[in-house]
Structure 1
Amino acid sequence: MSSADPRGLDLERLRARLDQERPPLTAGPLSGRLIEGGRSNLTYEVTDGIDRWVVRRPPLGHVLATAHDMKREHRVIQALHGTAVPVPSPFLLCEDQEVIGAPFYVMEYVEGTPYRSAAQLAALGPERTRTMVTRLVDTLADLHRVDPEEVGLAGFGHPQDFLERQLRRWGKQLTASRSRELAGIDELHEALGRRRPHSPAPTVVHGDYRLDNVLFDDADRIAAVLDWEMSTLGDPLTDLGLLVMYSTRLDLPESPVSTTSGAPGHPDPAELVERYAARSGRDTSQIAWYTAFAWFKLAVILEGIHYRYTLGQTVGAGFDRIGELVPVFIEHGLTTLQEG
């Protein structure tokens, strides 16, 4: 690997594999950069000076634990390409770790803008904000209309007892990161277990569906849905519950966890649910449970980050404030479940 290569990506070896598997995709030597902002798998922009592509690989030092993610992400993108769900065109999946040191895949570079905060949306004005968030909901309904078997995703996940397994999984995650008393967290987990709804027929579930995981083009249309690493077959309303959670105002100044609902024109959670129900035809009467579950999951995730911060295992700004957010998320979860 040369000094010009971004960390974790050998561009010469990458080009050799592309020339071998997808000629004549590249027209010359490659250059590339790491795209900041990823939470787990690493994302690179690569170009030959004429065209651009995106390369995804597991995080450095965790190849074996996450090697399956590359095949999984590539599979769902390949399956959804050509459906009503906009995804980048997939070009290559390489499971040979000898090429760049880890499995990876290459996909189309899609022009577009991710919107990560209410402040970004506010700059667009209320009409554009409303249009974009509405399209976000419509695209989620379109995703949940895709027949997994028709697009080759039968067996992509294990949807039976999906919610029960999700609750058990996140309960174990909480146990693994528990380092302090958290009032209400066990009460919330137990209440979710008691009131667990009956899931509808399984669909493709994105797993982390929110505004900053899509790209919008200049006409405010969704150009691509990204970050499929948590996708599976399961209960579609878990996606909606997460979207509702991220569309709820936290009113926490300088919070490292941002929601988008503070922007003028942003539909409120009830409108999002109504829009989804109208477009999908699904029963959303139990959405309070799914939203409370989303609050619980995020509380567990944040507590894990806080725990690693106390051990000195995190680097960067904002981690010192994560711990104080956890009780806020727990309280939102309890309130949502009680009011639902």
Structure 2
Amino acid sequence: MSRPTTRRTPGATLTGARRTGIQLALATAVISGFSVFFNADGVRAFGDATAYTTAKNAVAAIVLLAVVAIGSRAGARLTLPRTGREWAALAAIGLVGGSVPFVLFFEGLARASSPQAAFLHKTLLVWVALLAVVFLGERLSLFHLLAIALLVIGQIGLVGGISSFGGAEAMILGATVMWAVEVVVAKWLLAGVSSWTVGVARMVLGSVVLIVWVGVRGDLGLLTSMTAEQAGWVLLTGVLLAAYVATWFAALQRAQAVDVTAVLVLAAPVTAVLSNVTDGVPLRPQLDWLMVVLAGGALAVWAAWRARSAPVAVS
């Protein structure tokens, strides 16, 4: 197995890598928009949020392992960490990114209103921006700040803000902050290992922890006695999660954490359109705020597209 190394490359190469990262982030946003839409029905069909999360995460882990096994020659390959710090970071991603926050988020989602849950999750951008500036030394231009402001304001407008804050909302916010920490750790780690390594570690280690937790609760039967409908939702959302993880970490390896997280907010208009087309949810009451989100997303893409790039990991 080969491993990427971090080195300075000509400006055109750095720009090309960064722009590829933004394109991958746009793909991730589309996948996320579909995932949010389908997960709402999936968790209701399954009944138990933690068991549902465990099942779909396990499917995602299997899909990613299969892609690596089949597509290693096409670039989907694993690389081993070389230092104890890298091994520790990889393990932390499995715990902080791939297991605990999923339980917190979906347990909170089962209790909180969907709009408030959506808003709290979208504060991920704010937390990542703060952590990335402090720990990664990423630079924010005035255009970045304006884009972040538009994206946050648009999200507040879409969901009407937070009318109440209790235990369920605290669980969702806690999961969001943990995912923000994961983004920063992963960005640091991706300078030394492949994006597939980080993605597989996140889902495989995270799934193991989740399965153990479900077993401790005495609910393993929920995983082995799924109905055909439940299995269908798990397979669909698990495959979408695998696609999300693959494109997300590939984007994060090539572009700033702030940039790819900002672009991810564009998932909201995708979910809104799907809800309109399939469920008849009217777009007009949300149209103005969706346009604000789209404007913020477009500005985030433009700011990232034109920005000077830092060294990136290249194979």
Structure (1 or 2) with the greater helix fraction: 2
Q: Shared fold by TM > 0.5? A: no
Higher Rg: 1
TM-score (norm. length: structure 1)? 0.29
TM-score (norm. length: structure 2)? 0.30
Structure (1 or 2) with the greater strand fraction: 1
